[in-house]
Structure 1
Amino acid sequence: MFIPSFGYGRRSFLVNAPARFFVAVLVAAALWAARAHADGVKSRTAAIRIVAIGDSLTAGLGLREQDTFTVRLDAALRARGHNVTVVNAGVSGDTTAGGRTRLAWTIAGSGAEKTDAVILELGANDGLRGLDPGATFANLDDILTRLGRRKIPVLLTGMLAPPNLGRDYARQFREIYIRLAQKHDVVFYPFFLAGVAADPKLNQNDAKHPNADGVKVIVRRILPAVEKLLKRVSGRGES
Structure 2
Amino acid sequence: MPIDFKFSYQVGKVLRAIALIALASFTMSAYSASKTILVLGDSLSAEYGLQRGEGWVNLLQEKLAAEKISASIINASISGETTSGGKTRLQTLLDKYQPAIVVIELGANDALRGLSLISTQLNLRGMVTEAKNAKAKVLLVGMQIPPNYGTDYTRQFADLFPKIAKDTKSALVPFMLKDVADKPALFQADRMHPAAEAHPIILNNIWPQLKPLLTK
Give the TM-score, by structure 2 length.
0.84
Matched, 1:182 2:169: no
> Which residue is equivalent to 1:142?
126
> Which residue is equivalent to 1:192?
176
Give the TM-score, by structure 1 length.
0.76
Aligned pairs for 1:52-201 (under 5 A) are 52-109=39-96, 113-201=97-185
Q: Distance in 1 between matches of 2:158 and 2:63?
A: 28
Q: 1:146 to 1:40 in 2, by over 3 A?
A: farther
Q: 1:129 to 1:84 in 2, by over 3 A?
A: same
Matched, 1:214 2:191: no
Amino acid at match of 2:166: Q
Q: 1:39 to 1:105 in 2, by over 3 A?
A: farther
The one-character-per-residue Cα deviations of 1:132-189 (angstroms, maximum 9, x if unpaired) are: 1111000001111111112210110111123111110011111111110011111111
Amino acid at match of 2:201: V
Larger radius of gyration between Structure 1 and Structure 2: 1
Amino acid at match of 1:159: M
- CA drift at 1:37: 9.3
Q: Distance in 2 between matches of 1:104 and 1:149?
A: 10
Q: Distance in 1 between matches of 2:212 and 2:191?
A: 30
SS at match of 1:66: coil
Mapped contact 2:36–2:73 kept (Cα < 8 A): yes
- CA drift at 1:210: 1.0
The one-character-per-residue Cα deviations of 1:183-234 (angstroms, maximum 9, x if unpaired) are: 1111111111111114122111111111111001111232111102213xx3
Mapped contact 1:203–1:210 kept (Cα < 8 A): yes
SS at match of 2:127: helix
Mapped contact 1:68–1:212 kept (Cα < 8 A): yes
Amino acid at match of 2:173: Y
Mapped contact 1:160–1:170 kept (Cα < 8 A): yes
Amino acid at match of 1:96: T
Q: Distance in 1 between matches of 2:126 and 2:27?
A: 33
Matched, 1:223 2:210: no
SS at match of 2:36: strand
Mapped contact 1:127–1:162 kept (Cα < 8 A): no
Q: Distance in 1 between matches of 2:212 and 2:27?
A: 23
Q: 1:107 to 1:50 in 2, by over 3 A?
A: same
The structure, 1 or 2, with the larger RCO (C-alpha pairs under 8 Å, 6+ apart) is 2
